Structure 1
Amino acid sequence: MVSGDQAPEEKYPTSAAAAAATINPVLLALACCGNSGGLGYFLHGDEGAQQYRMDSQGQELIANAVMISGDGSLPSDDVEEGAAVSALSASSVLEGVTAEGDTALHAVACSGDGDNFLRSAEVIWKAKNLLFSQNNNGDTPLHCAARAGNSRMALHLIALARGEDGSDSNRVKAMLEMENKLMETALHDAVRIGNNDLVKMLMEEDSELACFPKGGTSALYIAVLTENTTIVETLYQTSHGNLSYSGPNGQNALHAAALRGPVLTGMLLEWKKGLSTQKDENGSTPLHFAAALLDDTNQVPQDNLSLHSEEANPAKRKGQTPLCFSVSLLRRSRQRSVCWQLLNANPAELYQPDCHGMYPIHVAASMGATGNVIMFAKKYPSSAGLRDSNGRTFLHIAVQKKKRGLVDFASKNHSLRWVLNMRDNGGDTALHLAVQAGSLTIFCALFGNRHVDMNVTNKKGQTPLDISRFMIPPEMFYNQNSEAHIRRALTMVGARSGASRQDHFEESYNKLHRASKDRGSDTENVKDTTQNLCIGSVLIATVTFGATFALPGGYVSDDHANGGTPTLAGRYAFDAFMMANMLAFICSSIATVGFMFSGASMVNLASRKFHMRSSVYFMATSVTSLTAAFALGVYMVLAPVAYKTAVAMCVMSPSILLWKNVDYWKRWALLPRPFYARKGLSWTLKQFGSLIIQSTLTEFWPFMLIFCWAAYART
Structure 2
Amino acid sequence: MSDGMFMCSQLYIAAWEGRTEEVARLLTGGGHPQGIHPGPCCTTGEVTAERSTLLHIAAGEGHCNLITELCHRDGTLLSAVNSWLDTPLHSAARSGHADAIEAVVRLARSSSVEEDRLREIVGGMNSDGDTALHLAARHGHGEAVEVLTKLAPELAEDVNGAGVSPLYLAVMSGSVRAVKAIVGCGNGDASAAGPMAQNAVHAAVLQGSEMVSLLLAWRPALATDVDTNQSSPLHFASSDGDCSIIEEILTQAPHIAYMQDSDGLSPLHAAPLMGNGPAVKLLLKFCPGTADIRDNHGRSFLHAASLRGHSSVVSHAGEYNVVSKLLSSGKVQVHIMNNEGHTPYDLIQNTTAFFSMVRLVVNLYVYGAQFRPQRQDHIKEWAGQDIVKWRVATSKNLAIVSTLVATVAFSAAFNVPGSYGPDGKANLNGNRMYNAFLVLDTVAMTTAVVATILLLVYGRASRPHRLWIGFIVSIHFLWLSLLSMMLGFFTAIAGTGDKKSTLTALFKLIYHGVYTMIMLLTGLTMPGSLTGVLRFVFGRKQHLMRRINRQYPLVLICAFNILLCIVINIVALAAVDITSNLR
TM over 0.5: yes
Deviations 1:637-660 (A, max 9, x none): 335x86895597379548657755
Aligned mates of 2:506, 2:449 — CA distance in 1: 30
* Cα contact 2:303–2:343 (8 A) shared by 1: yes
**One-letter amino acid of the counterpart of residue 496, structure 2:** V
Residue 21 of structure 2: SS of its match in structure 1?
helix
Confirm whether residue 90 of structure 1 aligns to residue 43 of structure 2. Answer: yes
Aligned to 1:537: 402
Q: Call closer, same or farther: CA 1:501–1:159 in 2, change over 3 Å.
A: closer
Count of aligned positions: 531
2:132 alignment partner, one of 166, 186, 198: 186
Q: Call closer, same or farther: CA 1:588–1:441 in 2, change over 3 Å.
A: closer
1:72-91 mapped onto 2 (5 Å cutoff): 72-73=34-35, 75-76=36-37, 83=38, 85-86=39-40, 88=41, 90=43
Q: Call closer, same or farther: CA 1:407–1:288 in 2, change over 3 Å.
A: same
Q: Call closer, same or farther: CA 1:102–1:350 in 2, change over 3 Å.
A: same
Aligned mates of 2:501, 2:223 — CA distance in 1: 75
Deviations 1:209-245 (A, max 9, x none): 73344762122434555444542345443xxx34433
Gaps of 5+ in 2: 309-313, 541-559, 577-583
Aligned to 1:198: 147
2:229 alignment partner, one of 263, 282, 300: 282
- 1:373: Cα distance to partner? 1.8
Residue 142 of structure 2: SS of its match in structure 1?
coil
Confirm whether residue 426 of structure 1 aligns to residue 336 of structure 2. Answer: no
Aligned mates of 1:234, 1:646 — CA distance in 2: 68
Aligned to 1:362: 269
Aligned mates of 1:608, 1:566 — CA distance in 2: 43
Aligned mates of 1:353, 1:455 — CA distance in 2: 27
* Cα contact 2:156–2:167 (8 A) shared by 1: no
1:624-635 mapped onto 2 (5 Å cutoff): 624-627=483-486, 629-635=488-494
- Relative to the length of structure 1, the TM-score reads 0.61
Q: Call closer, same or farther: CA 1:434–1:675 in 2, change over 3 Å.
A: farther
Confirm whether residue 500 of structure 1 aligns to residue 375 of structure 2. Answer: yes
**One-letter amino acid of the counterpart of residue 164, structure 2:** T
Aligned to 2:554: none
1:526 alignment partner, one of 380, 386, 392: 392
1:584 alignment partner, one of 444, 450, 463: 444
- Relative to the length of structure 2, the TM-score reads 0.73
Confirm whether residue 619 of structure 1 aligns to residue 478 of structure 2. Answer: yes
Deviations 1:306-336 (A, max 9, x none): xxxxxxxxxxxxxxxxxxxxxxxxxxxx7xx
Confirm whether residue 339 of structure 1 aligns to residue 205 of structure 2. Answer: no
Larger radius of gyration: 1
Q: Call closer, same or farther: CA 1:427–1:236 in 2, change over 3 Å.
A: farther
Gaps of 5+ in 1: 4-11, 13-20, 50-58, 67-71, 77-82, 300-333, 462-498, 558-562, 682-689, 707-715
* Cα contact 1:132–1:175 (8 A) shared by 2: yes
Q: Call closer, same or farther: CA 1:675–1:185 in 2, change over 3 Å.
A: same
- 1:103: Cα distance to partner? 2.9
Aligned mates of 2:296, 2:59 — CA distance in 1: 54
Aligned to 2:65: 115
Aligned to 1:35: 19
Aligned mates of 1:581, 1:27 — CA distance in 2: 88
**One-letter amino acid of the counterpart of residue 28, structure 2:** H
1:144 alignment partner, one of 88, 91, 95: 91
Aligned mates of 1:219, 1:703 — CA distance in 2: 65
1:688-699 mapped onto 2 (5 Å cutoff): none
Confirm whether residue 455 of structure 1 aligns to residue 356 of structure 2. Answer: no
* Cα contact 1:145–1:151 (8 A) shared by 2: yes
* Cα contact 2:490–2:511 (8 A) shared by 1: yes
1:243-254 mapped onto 2 (5 Å cutoff): 243-254=190-201
1:460-479 mapped onto 2 (5 Å cutoff): 461=373
Deviations 1:427-470 (A, max 9, x none): 33345446864366666665554xxx43341xxx4xxxxxxxxx
* % same residue: 23
Aligned mates of 1:177, 1:436 — CA distance in 2: 55
1:171 alignment partner, one of 83, 105, 117: 117
Aligned mates of 2:425, 2:141 — CA distance in 1: 87
Aligned mates of 2:105, 2:77 — CA distance in 1: 12
- 1:107: Cα distance to partner? 0.7
- 1:265: Cα distance to partner? 1.0
After TM superposition, the structure 1 stretch with the greater mean CA deviation from structure 2, 427-436 or 176-185, is 427-436
1:311-330 mapped onto 2 (5 Å cutoff): none
**One-letter amino acid of the counterpart of residue 68, structure 2:** L
* Cα contact 1:540–1:585 (8 A) shared by 2: yes
Deviations 1:506-549 (A, max 9, x none): xx33xx65x977xxx6356424432x333433333333333333
Aligned mates of 1:680, 1:585 — CA distance in 2: 37
Q: Call closer, same or farther: CA 1:258–1:624 in 2, change over 3 Å.
A: closer
- 1:593: Cα distance to partner? 4.7
Aligned to 1:103: 53
- 1:356: Cα distance to partner? 2.9
**One-letter amino acid of the counterpart of residue 14, structure 2:** L
**One-letter amino acid of the counterpart of residue 232, structure 1:** I
Q: Call closer, same or farther: CA 1:356–1:395 in 2, change over 3 Å.
A: same
* Cα contact 2:55–2:67 (8 A) shared by 1: no
Residue 425 of structure 1: SS of its match in structure 2?
coil
